[in-house]
Amino acid sequence: MDLNLLTIDGARNAVRDGRTTATALAHSFYAKIAQDDPKIGSYLTLARERGLAKAAEIDSLAARGETLPPLAGVPVGIKDVLVTRGVRTTAGSKILGNYVPPYDCTAVTRLEAAGAVVLGKMNCDEFAMGSSNENSAWKPVHNPRDLSRVPGGSSGGSAAAVAADLAVATLGTDTGGSIRQPASFCGVVGLKPTYGRVSRYGLIAFASSLDHIGPLTKTVKDAAIVLRTIAGRDPMDSTSAEVPVPDYVAELEKPVRSLKIGLAKEYLAEGLDPEVRRAVEDAVQSLSELGCEVVEISLPHTEYAIATYYIVATAEASSNLARFDGVRYGYRAENVRSLSEMYRRSRDLGFGAEVKRRIMLGTYALSAGYYDAYYLKAQKVRALLTRDFEEAFKKVDAIVTPTSPTAAFKLGDKTDDPLAMYLADIYTVTANLAGIPGISIPCGETKEKLPIGMQILGKHFDEATILRLAHAYEQAA
């Protein structure tokens, strides 16, 4: 049994049946990380002490013959924008280079309460701003399928680690595609739940009306298991919804026959790589062979999505990032003569170029005189984009799209052209603007053996249906 290849169920069962121990499992992952991660770069910080203490706790439960919790001994990685008590959390930024949080993110608390073992913190773009992981202040992540290529972003470390068997599952965050796009680039499963489904307490905010936490896993079933564990109302996050959480794993087995899936013509238009188009069309064909009915739909405001997203996201970011001023957390510039110089120097030296670009864009969009023209206009278009989905979901149960217009690109390819980088988020940002759930699952490869991802979007709080479709496709493929 190769411990590093196990799924969540596989790992938990192996621990439960005494075929391995949680401690042996954790050691086997730490050994593989030591061997393989230097060339991939998916971890920023290892949480050895915390991970091994949790593993020992699971092993002593097992030794006493007690019933083990559902994720007993399962080694997981946590994106570095999610705070972990006593374990350095940098959000990929120099400004939080030495930050050791005094509390835990709720999603992490819930995973550990279910028995998971936290291995460490995953590399990501600075404050989750990016689509390639090249904005990490520490180091880039390399795609395990081709080390000359990016893993996607911003949850690039979370996706690469699962793809390279350096964690069984990881948590990522998704503000405009940061779980789904890296999942598609690395050939793993990534799920962005409905806005409000998972508590964001302990997530270092990028854009509060768009931020989501979700899993990256090897299988759809594993994504269902993690979602079931982390979902549900949390009094510490007032935006977390009081909506019952179904048993996503049980729901997977329901038939998909006669589900209606929508294909939006706007998502299969100009700019889409022909190989990606073909793979997604083949996947749709498989779904129709499973008995799904394919319906053509229209999402007419799609062309405005990128502009809308990059105004709303940067506006919220400029406000959220105001808290990093050298006073309470993180980096503080030395040898300054005044308070305002301290603010300025700390932010100038602490933030990277992309973060500064967004703070400036967002500040501009919110400034008196421009607010109506940009921010207010963007909010109106956001409502139209949301309405597009409401109309579509009157006709269909789910919508199938490519996750990204292309497969993984080369490191350095887009770093000089931020606009090209932004435009590639076209298929993912809409789900964040509308708050609907979306999953990316592998659906083939390019000629160069690079993974291609298919996205399935669902109705608000209907993760069960998209997981079910994804599972049915995965089993058939």
CB 440 within 8 A of CB 467: no
93 is catalytic: no
CB 407 within 8 A of CB 275: yes
CB 357 within 8 A of CB 418: yes
Question: Minimum Å distance from CB 305 to ligand GLN?
Answer: 12
154 is catalytic: yes
**Given 23, 131, 217, 403, the residue binding ligand GLN (CB under 6 A):** 131
Both structure tokens of 124: 């990501």
Question: Minimum Å distance from CB 424 to ligand GLN?
Answer: 8
List 136, 178, 404, 440, catalytic entry: 178
Task: Tell me if 425 contacts ligand GLN by CB under 6 A.
Answer: yes
Rg (CA), the chain: 21
Task: Tell me if 174 contacts ligand GLN by CB under 6 A.
Answer: yes
Question: Minimum Å distance from CB 364 to ligand GLN?
Answer: 17
List 154, 184, 346, 404, catalytic entry: 154
- Per-residue burial over 107-121, b if 16 or more Cβ lie within 10 Å, else e, is bbbbbbebbbbbbbb
Beta bridge partners, 77, equal: 120, 170
Which ranges of 187-247 does DSSP label H, i.e. alpha helix? 220-230
**Contact pattern from residue 290 through residue 319 relative to ligand GLN, giving x for each residue in contact according to CB under 6 A and a dash for the rest:** -----------------------x------
Nearest alpha-carbon partner for 3 in 412, 15, 16: 15
Question: Minimum Å distance from CB 428 to ligand GLN?
Answer: 7
Beta strand pairing status for 189-192 and 169-173? unpaired
**Given 175, 318, 346, 404, the residue binding ligand GLN (CB under 6 A):** 175
Both structure tokens of 417: 């052209």
Both structure tokens of 12: 């938990």
For residues 21 and 314, which CB has a smaller minimum distance to ligand GLN in the complex? 314
Order of strands, edge to edge, in the sheet holding 213-217?
43-46, 117-122, 75-79, 169-173, 213-217, 189-192, 438-445, 451-458, 398-402, 260-264, 293-297
**Contact pattern from residue 32 through residue 71 relative to ligand GLN, giving x for each residue in contact according to CB under 6 A and a dash for the rest:** ----------------------------------------
CA dist list (Å): 444 to 22, 265, 474: 34, 21, 11
**Contact region for ligand GLN (CB under 6 A) — 114-122, 129-137, 224-232, 407-415?**
129-137
Beta bridge partners, 42, equal: none
**Given 10, 51, 115, 177, the residue binding ligand GLN (CB under 6 A):** 177
Task: Tell me if 321 contacts ligand GLN by CB under 6 A.
Answer: no
CB 204 within 8 A of CB 233: no
**Contact region for ligand GLN (CB under 6 A) — 11-19, 127-135, 255-263, 372-380?**
127-135
**CA–CA dist 154, 128 (Å, integer):** 5
Question: Minimum Å distance from CB 139 to ligand GLN?
Answer: 18
**CA–CA dist 331, 166 (Å, integer):** 30
Helix, strand, coil shares of the chain, percent, nearest 5, are 45, 15, 40
Question: Minimum Å distance from CB 201 to ligand GLN?
Answer: 18
Question: Minimum Å distance from CB 325 to ligand GLN?
Answer: 22
Task: Tell me if 178 contacts ligand GLN by CB under 6 A.
Answer: yes
**Contact region for ligand GLN (CB under 6 A) — 105-113, 171-179, 233-241, 391-399?**
171-179
For residues 161 and 424, which CB has a smaller minimum distance to ligand GLN in the complex? 424
**Given 82, 129, 292, 407, the residue binding ligand GLN (CB under 6 A):** 129
What is the identity of the amino acid at 469? L
Task: Tell me if 128 contacts ligand GLN by CB under 6 A.
Answer: yes
Task: Tell me if 176 contacts ligand GLN by CB under 6 A.
Answer: yes
What is the identity of the amino acid at 109? T
Nearest alpha-carbon partner for 150 in 72, 252, 283, 41: 41
Task: Tell me if 216 contacts ligand GLN by CB under 6 A.
Answer: no
Question: Minimum Å distance from CB 156 to ligand GLN?
Answer: 11
Q: By the criterion CB under 6 A, which residues form the site for ligand GLN?
A: 128-131, 154, 174-178, 206, 313, 425
Q: Which residues are catalytic?
A: 79, 154, 178
